[in-house]
Structure formats: C-alpha cells, structure tokens
Amino acid sequence: MTGKVIFEKLFETFGFVNETLEELIEKYGEIKVIKYQKRTMEFKLHDFYHFCLVKACKSLNAAETLISNYIQEDSQTVLRTAYECYLNASFARCNPNSLNELMDFKVSLYTGILTHPISKKGHVQRNQILNPKTGEIAPFGISIYHMASNGPCKEDAELYDSLYKHLSEHVHVHFITSGNYRNMEDLKYTMFKGELLLQPLYQGVLIGLMFLADYLLFNTKIENGILTKSKEVCQMGVDIMLETSDFFEDETDVIRDSIERLKAIGKAIHTSN
C-alpha cells in the first residue's frame, strides 16, 4: 500500500469521524445546568463532557484543515488540545467527583470566590485553594498524567507516554523537531514537507476514535440510527488504522501503543449501549 493510498484512506476516515462527532454534539449537546436550572452531578457531568467534546471536535476540524494545507506541525499542536479534552472527559466520566476541581473550583478561582493561599515566604501556592470566608485550604490540580493513568482504559496510560510526548514536542520550541522544518537534503528550511502529513493524520484519527468510542459508553440514550452509524464509523476507523499501522516504521512507540488502544476501542464498541 503506497503512502498516497494510506493518506487518502486516513483522510477520508478522519472526515467521517469528525462528522459523526459533530452530529452527536448537535443532537445531544444541550447545556442542562442552565436549561433546567439544576446543578445536579448528572447535569454537571453531562455539560462538562460535552464541553470537552465540542472543544476537541473544533481542534480536530482545525487539524483536518491544517493537514489539507500541508501544515503538519501546527496540526499536531492542536491535536494535543483535542487529546487533553479526551483525557479530561473520559477521566470525569469515571471519576465524577473530580468535577469539583475541573469545574467548580476553577470557576470560583476566576470569580474570586476562592483564591490560592500565600506561603509564609510570600509565594503563591497554586497547588492549593483557599476559601477566604472559612479559611479552609484544599489541594488543587489534577495532572494530565493522572487523568490518563486513572481513566476508563488501562491502554490510555500506556499510550500517554509516547503520544503526549510526541505532540508536546510540536507545541514548544523543541529543537528535536527541527527536521520537520527542513527540506529532504536537510540544507534549507521549508514551509512544506508533505511526506510527514501521515503522522498527524494517523494521530488525529486515533484521538477522534478514542473520543467517539468513549462517548458511546458515556451516553446511554443515543437513538438507534445514530448509534448504529457511530459504531460503524468507529469499527471502520479501527480496521483502517490497524491495516495501515505497518507503514509507520519511524514511530514505533506511538504505533505500538496505539495498536493496543485500537484493539480496546474495538472491544468497547461491542459493549456500549
């Protein structure tokens, strides 16, 4: 299978996955806390999960546009955003009490209801929060690594080390990625290096599939027509990803870990709803 054929298959799959996620958002993405004026745990989880989903979907769409315009590095910076959204949503689904930190505490910090305490040496302690009225201090902050390690799927923890590291290298000024900006002879910087487009495309489809599969476990009230379509898109994506994974010889860690994650998605499809 040639690189061109793989690109076409993955790009088409990326579009199908993004369209399915968008359809789910349009159908089920109401903001229940505001609509029904009730701050129940169920409503808060629903609203937070769909916030993560729509934020990720916008990033996935941005990545799709960047890839189609041969801007692969920036597509990977926005893919990290989508990946973080998935980890937040899937972690909250399995740990709903974390919404206190993920939602309430952050909003209260922004509005001034809560603040960070000051140490005796005058340093702001950002890993804690303080209620000025009661003097109560509580720990604050859930790392992305903690989310990956304590989410619904053990393969997420295994994938995190390789995938997050790779995506982060493109977010920051990390000279290890400078080869992505050089021509084939490594003698000149160039704006376009099309042979690297398969990397972010593979990663984008992977992140989209992880979110889609998790959503099918999160929302148990999806209508049959949309549910059937979502499962079909998910299974098709997994099959194509596994079929093309051998092509990516230079990303052994990410590919190896993603294969196990894709197999877990395949199993999840058959147990959802």
pLDDT at 250 over 60: no
The band of 255, judged by pLDDT with boundaries at 50, 70 and 90, is confident
pLDDT for residue 139: 83
What are the tens digits of pLDDT across the range 119-151? 888 888 888 889 888 988 888 889 999 999 999
Q: Which residue has the higher pLDDT, 191 or 35?
A: 35
What are the tens digits of pLDDT across the range 15-61? 999 999 999 999 999 999 999 999 999 999 999 999 999 999 999 99
What are the tens digits of pLDDT across the range 62-112? 999 999 988 888 999 999 999 999 999 999 999 999 998 888 888 888 888
| Contact by Cβ (8 Å): 109, 122 | no
- Separation CA 159–CA 48 (nearest Å): 24
pTM more than 0.85: yes
pLDDT for residue 170: 82
| Contact by Cβ (8 Å): 175, 189 | no
- Separation CA 254–CA 162 (nearest Å): 5
Q: What percent of the chain has pLDDT over 90?
A: 60
Q: Domain residue spans in the chain?
A: 3-95+150-271, 96-142
Q: How many other CB atoms sit within 10 Å of the CB of residue 148?
A: 24
pLDDT for residue 251: 56
pLDDT at 159 over 60: yes
- Separation CA 86–CA 149 (nearest Å): 13
pLDDT for residue 254: 83
Helix, strand and coil in the chain, % to nearest 5: 70, 5, 25
Q: What are the structure tokens assigned to 30, written together? A: 């109401």
pLDDT at 256 over 90: no
Q: Which range has highest mean pLDDT (85-89, 159-163, 238-242)?
A: 85-89
